[in-house]
Structure 1
Amino acid sequence: MSSTRPSGPPLHLRVANKKAYVWDVEDIAAIRAKHRLCGVFTGTLPHLSQQNLFLGVPMVLLPEEVVLLVENESAVLIDDPKAHLEPSVAELQRWSAQENELAQLRLAQLAAAAKDSPAMSDEAVRKRKERELKRKAAAEAKAAAEAASSESAETHSSIFKPPEEVAAPPAPVDVQYTVVIPASSTPFEWYNDSACAYTTIQSAKDAGIWEYPSDLHERAKCGVFRGLWEQGMFMGGGIKFGGDYLVYPGDPLRYHAHFSASVLDSPTSALTPMEIVAHGRLGTVTKKSHLLCGWDDEKKDVSYLSIEWAGFG
């Protein structure tokens, strides 16, 4: 499968603390649809902030995915901390005034939308009145209970006065609020990455913002990852299944993994019988075959061996 770079400007991978992040949702879509890479979402969603099943931007890429994109000339590495500029006091004041003006504009739009909202149906009005009556009855019962509990503290000569009617809380207004968030990141006024973009892995290493691959095992992982990717596969983390990668025949949202893959630094790397048995049985139990991927660092080539548990007799 061809690994030529698709047309269009290169993707910007923003590097901080030796990790590559993608913030632009258009870039995230291109990485998955055009480059067949999945990454991992690490940001919490505003309406699901206390869970970790469905996450949002930014996307963090595996080091092998970063190397693949940069070597294919599909992406550049950005030194993100250096790209942030320090604004002056006057610029901060101007930015604050613009934000206040934008907030007032949005409030005016919400007020106009609420005013122009269609009238409620008779059924909706009836249900609202029922809710209001239930809240009012609950409030009266609560007030009566509080008055009865405090009656013992009063003198016997006092005359019990029923609690005053407690006003029901205001009914909620059926208005939908929409917060407009741009789908793609626009260049920020105090962000300039033109002087800290690196088009090769070596130049990023020389600048000290990137260091992968740094040894034989990491080169082997990059080579195996590229070899599987060039065959049209999607890869994800495979630590849960006893390997380095899970190998999918298509997008993981549509397919189950067919293989779990382990990277060997050499095609002649030694394996114990226990490792072979463990890989074979674990792969079979999880309905996968296990791939042993041997990297030849001299030939820059990968050899594959599939292990699958089988019964005898």
Structure 2
Amino acid sequence: MKAYLKQKNNFGLQNFAKMYLTLLNGTGFVFNVDDYMELRSKHRIMGAPVGTANTKGWSPNQSTLPVELSIFETQLLLEENIAKLVDKSQDLKAKLTAEKQKEHKADFETRLLGQEEALKSEKLRETKRYMDKILAGKRNKLLKQGKKEIAEALTEDDVLKKMSENFKFDRQNALVEVPCEHLKDHSAQIVPGPIVNVSSLKYRIFKDLWKRGKYVTSGDAFGADFLVYPGDPLIYHASHIVIIHESPIIKPLEMVAKVRLSVIVNKSCVFAYENENDGEIHYQTVTWYNPSK
């Protein structure tokens, strides 16, 4: 896909960012591990791995690529020109031509033959590793059958040749490769325009926190709008929960409920709101005070 976009310079695509997000379910997905590591380490974009390497089903503890970005993360990357969002649906839904079908079948056959050769080589390697025991076993068996001359003449090359001739690869047990990225370059359309309301208070607060150098993720699991981390969430726990308010006026019972929640999860509670006078985003941190301690 990247090669395709580079060929489209005459359409004004030459200044596009080098990273491309795939549009799925209204947001961006990352299929390239190098792109994801760059987003995470350089741009503090976490996303959520939604793939799995577990054949028994998806598990949050064994999740892998692709990575689903939130709509806010996707929009931020577009605005900062870190990445571009592309729609591959038209090309991927197109009916394959006879030539393409033949090409895909040949490619699939090549991968199966590769598995067969790899398995055969591994079988031969293991046979060589235990050759002494295998030879002893086969010779003892021949001696019991009264074939002393054949037993004495049996060599390592005979064993390896026999194993190679009798080797069978059952394609029903072949591993079907499910590549993360598409194996072939294909066309894609740049998705123009924002995917969220960039003037919404929630998006502007997300962007403001990110520009302040924070690691920001969804706070749904804690009854908040966002979670803020002092560093990569793989290493640090969230330090703050962020509650968004349309105004600086907060009802006492709501404040008590949110602050008590933050205490339970061992985090500071931050109320974020827009100042009506200057339109600026403000933050108010509230902590629980127990005079008995």
Q: Does 1:26 align with 2:34?
A: yes
AA partner of residue 279 (structure 1) = K
Taking structure 1 as the reference length, what is the TM-score of the superposition?
A: 0.67
Rounded Cα–Cα distance in structure 2 between residues aligned with 1:49 and 1:184:
17
Deviation at 1:47, TM superposition (A): 3.8
Rounded Cα–Cα distance in structure 2 between residues aligned with 1:112 and 1:264:
64
Deviation at 1:54, TM superposition (A): 2.5
Rounded Cα–Cα distance in structure 1 between residues aligned with 2:263 and 2:116:
59
Deviation at 1:36, TM superposition (A): 0.7
Tell me the SS of whatever aligns to 2:129.
coil
Q: Does 1:272 align with 2:256?
A: no
Give the fraction of aligned pairs with identical amino acids, expressed as a percent: 23
Q: Does 1:192 align with 2:191?
A: no
AA partner of residue 192 (structure 1) = S
AA partner of residue 213 (structure 1) = N
Q: Does 1:99 align with 2:94?
A: no
Q: Counterpart in 1 of 2:197?
A: 213
Structure 2 vs 1, CA of residues 80 and 104 (structure 1 numbering), >3 Å: closer, same or farther? same
Structure 2 vs 1, CA of residues 89 and 25 (structure 1 numbering), >3 Å: closer, same or farther? same
Structure 2 vs 1, CA of residues 255 and 115 (structure 1 numbering), >3 Å: closer, same or farther? same
Q: Counterpart in 1 of 2:90?
A: 82
Rounded Cα–Cα distance in structure 2 between residues aligned with 1:292 and 1:273:
13
Tell me the SS of whatever aligns to 1:87.
coil
Structure 2 vs 1, CA of residues 181 and 228 (structure 1 numbering), >3 Å: closer, same or farther? farther
Q: Does 1:245 align with 2:241?
A: no
Structure 2 vs 1, CA of residues 299 and 56 (structure 1 numbering), >3 Å: closer, same or farther? farther
Structure 2 vs 1, CA of residues 96 and 121 (structure 1 numbering), >3 Å: closer, same or farther? closer
AA partner of residue 197 (structure 1) = I
Deviation at 1:241, TM superposition (A): 1.7
Taking structure 2 as the reference length, what is the TM-score of the superposition?
A: 0.71
Q: Counterpart in 2 of 1:262?
A: 243
Rounded Cα–Cα distance in structure 1 between residues aligned with 2:193 and 2:97:
30
AA partner of residue 305 (structure 1) = Q
Give the RMSD, CA atoms, in angstroms.
3.1
Tell me the SS of whatever aligns to 1:235.
strand
Structure 2 vs 1, CA of residues 62 and 295 (structure 1 numbering), >3 Å: closer, same or farther? farther
Rounded Cα–Cα distance in structure 1 between residues aligned with 2:289 and 2:131:
66
Q: Counterpart in 1 of 2:4?
A: none
Q: Counterpart in 2 of 1:51?
A: 59
Question: Which of the residues 269, 288, 292 maps onto 1:309?
Answer: 288
Counting helix residues as a fraction of each chain, which structure ranks higher? 2
Gaps of 5+ in 1: 1-7, 126-176
Question: Which of the residues 73, 78, 81 maps onto 1:70?
Answer: 78
Deviation at 1:178, TM superposition (A): 11
Rounded Cα–Cα distance in structure 2 between residues aligned with 1:65 and 1:12:
13
Deviation at 1:279, TM superposition (A): 1.3
Tell me the SS of whatever aligns to 1:293.
strand
Q: Does 1:234 align with 2:215?
A: yes
